[in-house]
């Protein structure tokens, strides 16, 4: 099961370390390009709601492309769940296999995010390093993977009680099809029965099939590129620099933490509600800095909720990774080493570590944003010159689905809408952009109208929605979409009753607002809800602005 080791201890070359950092990230970026170009849905092709990464033989993330933070920080737990299922629980992984899963309680985020994991096998590796030219290392008969490649993509529907699979649910079973770690591809052959089972449970089977096959192709490209790299430089060297990149990220994170003052820093903020009851939901964190380590403790946060705003542990892990990684400020690889100096305390059964069968559709997209807000709020006490005011604090999720009479098929449209980012000591916030745990684009008007029975009536910056201050928060967006057929609409949004906070006496950003224009009459809509709309209705979404920074001089 193990490859014969070199007889000397390989030294680490900082230049070669940088080269390998780019080797691995380039493979992940190429995987993303394949996925984007081969996919069927606008959500993946246009919005780029996907992520790709490289993992070592133990499931630690080594490198990633510049994709979605909430995906990438949580994906190692999915990869490790897949490894556990097929390494320690009987069924063996083979060359050419690809595992599929989306279970949020096994490292997933929410059900529409489907993860594909492909093991990388090397039967014979020829080392071409200076000291061992031509040496060949054969794996034993019962070989095991030397690495893994994985990608995660948000599918515009995975079944469940509402089109788009982002419902205001009371249990996860209402949110869609739950997929445990199973082989979608075995020894290079697609398991058609598994694919048929998945497609039988979704509203847009053709689109889902195309997106899943694009994900398979992306992993195959990553697998091939990693094999080429290993054959070129040898497994020993490639594996060595995988581990060195983990150590490097850990060292840089420790250096960041050591630059912060020792002490305890606490902050609290609220979610508007859970979509079922109106009570605000507390999220609280205390960050303890001690030399070069940090403890992030969410004790005191609200219990898990009846509605679908619960975050699983993988989400909380991902947000902590994102915030600390962002503070480093250097071109350091974003890998599993970043979290080694950080201890996370997330009490089981709370809003930040929900347990089965809690509904979780909004935990990934909404609660993750509020966790970032409380983390940055706490750190603003430790390093105020490096922390911005709150950004819009929501992804403004819109799902629309129904029968498309023009194309004679069912459609599901899913979109997140950008808003304003928080101002900081460096200047004003940015307007009309996705922020923090999302890194997607918008759906271009042309692509949206070409694909769906929808018409964009208005799409503009929401002027003066950013918080005032010495520096002004970024403005939100106004997006109005006219329905050209009867359809069901689901909204999952935040910061409709709470405001993005300002810092250093800056003012908060404006709250968001949802409206339905029916027969020329405006009807106020809640931040979260699902309802049926008629042909000709206009859905109007105004997104929050970012908080201001510093006190105004006037």
Tens-digit pLDDT profile for residues 268-288: 999 999 999 999 999 999 999
Task: Give me the pLDDT at residue 134, please.
Answer: 35
SS3 373: helix
Q: What gap in Å lies between CA 220 and CA 120, rounded to an integer? A: 10
Task: Give me the pLDDT at residue 529, please.
Answer: 97
Which distant-in-sequence residues (6+ apart) come within 8 Å of 514 by Cβ? 491, 493, 496, 524, 525, 526, 527, 539, 540, 541, 542
Establish how many alpha carbons lie within 13 A of residue 330's alpha carbon, considering only the half-sphere containing its beta carbon. Answer: 12
Q: What is the mean pLDDT of the chain?
A: 92
Q: What gap in Å lies between CA 544 and CA 467, rounded to an integer? A: 10
Q: Residue 88 above 90 pLDDT?
A: no
Tens-digit pLDDT profile for residues 165-181: 999 999 999 999 999 99
Task: Give me the pLDDT at residue 126, please.
Answer: 37
| DSSP secondary structure code for residue 494 in this structure | -
Task: Give me the pLDDT at residue 330, please.
Answer: 74
User: What angle (nearest 5°) sits at the alpha carbon of residue 185, between those of residues 184 and 189?
Assistant: 140
Task: Give me the pLDDT at residue 144, please.
Answer: 87
Give me Rg for the CA atoms of the chain.
23
Q: What gap in Å lies between CA 323 and CA 390, rounded to an integer? A: 13
Tens-digit pLDDT profile for residues 531-543: 999 999 999 999 9
DSSP 442-463: PPPHHHHHHHSSEEEEEEEEET
Q: Over range 353-367, report the average pLDDT.
A: 97
Tokens 């057929």 -> residue? 485
> pTM, whole model, 2 decimals?
0.93
Q: Record the tokens describing residue 376, joined without a space.
A: 């940055």
DSSP 69-113: HHHHTTHHHHHHHHHIIIIISSPPP-TT-EEEE--GGGT-SSTTE
Task: Give me the pLDDT at residue 73, please.
Answer: 77
Q: Residue 407 above 70 pLDDT?
A: yes
Task: Give me the pLDDT at residue 13, please.
Answer: 87
Q: Record the tokens describing residue 355, joined without a space.
A: 């347990």
Which of 76-90, 270-284, 450-464, 482-496 is least confident?
76-90
Tokens 């006490």 -> residue? 381
Which distant-in-sequence residues (6+ apart) come within 8 Å of 251 by Cβ? none
SS3 523: strand
Q: Over range 325-350, report the average pLDDT.
A: 90
Task: Give me the pLDDT at residue 553, please.
Answer: 75
Closest CA to 289 of 266, 311, 312, 263: 263
Q: Is 90 exposed, middle or buried (0-12, 13-18, 19+ CB in 10 A)?
A: exposed
Which of 142-156, 394-408, 444-458 is least confident?
142-156
Query: Residues 348, 354, 357, 361: what is their CA dihedral angle, to the nearest 10 degrees?
Result: -170
Task: Give me the pLDDT at residue 137, please.
Answer: 39
Task: Give me the pLDDT at residue 141, please.
Answer: 44
pLDDT band at 313 (very low <50, low <70, confident <90, very high): very high
- The H helix count followed by the E strand count for the chain is 11, 22
Give the sign of the dihedral formed by CA 372, CA 375, CA 380, CA 382.
Answer: negative
Query: Residues 475, 477, 478, 480: what is their CA dihedral angle, to the nearest 10 degrees?
Result: 180
Q: Over range 226-254, report the average pLDDT.
A: 94
Which of 66-75, 206-215, 279-288, 382-391 is least confident?
66-75
Q: What gap in Å lies between CA 461 and CA 235, rounded to an integer? A: 51
């Amino acid at each position: 099961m193990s490859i014969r080791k070199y007889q000397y201890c390989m030294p680490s070359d900082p230049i070669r370390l940088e080269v390998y950092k780019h080797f691995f990230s380039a493979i992940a970026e190429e995987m993303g390009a394949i996925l984007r170009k081969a996919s069927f849905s606008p959500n993946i092709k246009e919005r780029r709601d996907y992520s790709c990464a490289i993992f070592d033989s133990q499931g630690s993330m080594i490198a990633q492309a510049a994709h979605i933070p909430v995906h990438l920080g949580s994906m190692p737990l999915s990869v490790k769940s897949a490894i556990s299922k097929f390494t320690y629980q009987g069924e063996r992984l083979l060359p050419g296999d690809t595992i599929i899963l989306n279970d949020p309680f096994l490292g997933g985020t929410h059900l529409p995010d489907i993860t594909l994991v492909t093991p990388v096998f090397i039967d014979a590796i020829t080392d071409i390093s200076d000291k061992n030219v031509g040496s060949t290392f054969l794996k034993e008969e019962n070989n095991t993977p030397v690495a893994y490649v994985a990608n995660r993509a948000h599918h515009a529907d995975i079944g469940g009680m509402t089109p788009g699979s982002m419902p205001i649910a009371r249990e996860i079973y209402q949110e869609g099809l739950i997929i445990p770690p199973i082989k979608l591809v075995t020894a290079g052959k697609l398991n058609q029965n598994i694919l048929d089972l998945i497609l039988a449970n979704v509203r847009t089977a053709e689109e889902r099939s195309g997106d899943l096959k694009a994900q398979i192709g992306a992993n195959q490209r990553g697998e091939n590129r990693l094999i080429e790299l290993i054959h070129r430089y040898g497994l020993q060297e490639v594996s060595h620099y995988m581990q060195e990149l983990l150590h490097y990220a850990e060292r840089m994170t420790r250096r960041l933490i050591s630059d912060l003052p020792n002490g305890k820093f606490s902050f609290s903020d609220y979610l508007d509600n859970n979509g079922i009851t109106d009570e605000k939901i507390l999220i609280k964190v205390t960050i303890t800095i001690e030399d070069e380590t940090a403890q992030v403790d969410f004790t005191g946060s609200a219990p898990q909720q009846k509605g679908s705003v619960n975050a699983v542990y993988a989400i909380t892990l991902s947000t902590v990774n994102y915030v600390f990684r962002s503070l480093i400020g250097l071109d350091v690889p974003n890998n599993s080493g970043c979290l080694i100096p950080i201890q996370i305390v997330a009490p089981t059964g709370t809003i930040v570590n929900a347990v089965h069968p809690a509904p979780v559709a909004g935990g990934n997209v909404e609660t993750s944003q509020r966790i970032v807000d409380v983390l940055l709020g706490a750190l603003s006490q430790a390093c105020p010159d490096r922390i911005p005011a709150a950004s819009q604090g929501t992804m403004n999720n819109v799902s629309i689905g129904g029968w498309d009479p023009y194309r004679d098929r069912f459609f599901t449209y899913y979109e997140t809408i950008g808003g304003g980012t928080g101002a900081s000591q460096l200047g004003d916030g940015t307007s009309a952009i996705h922020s923090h745990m999302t890194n997607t684009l918008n759906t271009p008007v042309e692509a949206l109208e070409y694909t769906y029975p929808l018409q964009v009536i208005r799409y503009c910056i929401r002027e003066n929605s950013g918080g005032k201050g010495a520096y002004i928060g970024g403005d939100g967006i106004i997006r109005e979409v006219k329905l050209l057929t009867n359809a069901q609409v689901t909204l999952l949004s935040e910061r409709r009753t709470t405001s993005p906070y300002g810092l250093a006496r800056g003012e908060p950003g404006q709250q968001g607002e949802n409206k339905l224009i029916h027969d020329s009459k405006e009807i106020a809509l809640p931040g979260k809800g699902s309802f049926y709309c008629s042909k000709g209705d206009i859905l109007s979404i105004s997104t929050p602005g970012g908080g201001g920074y510093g006190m105004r001089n006037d």
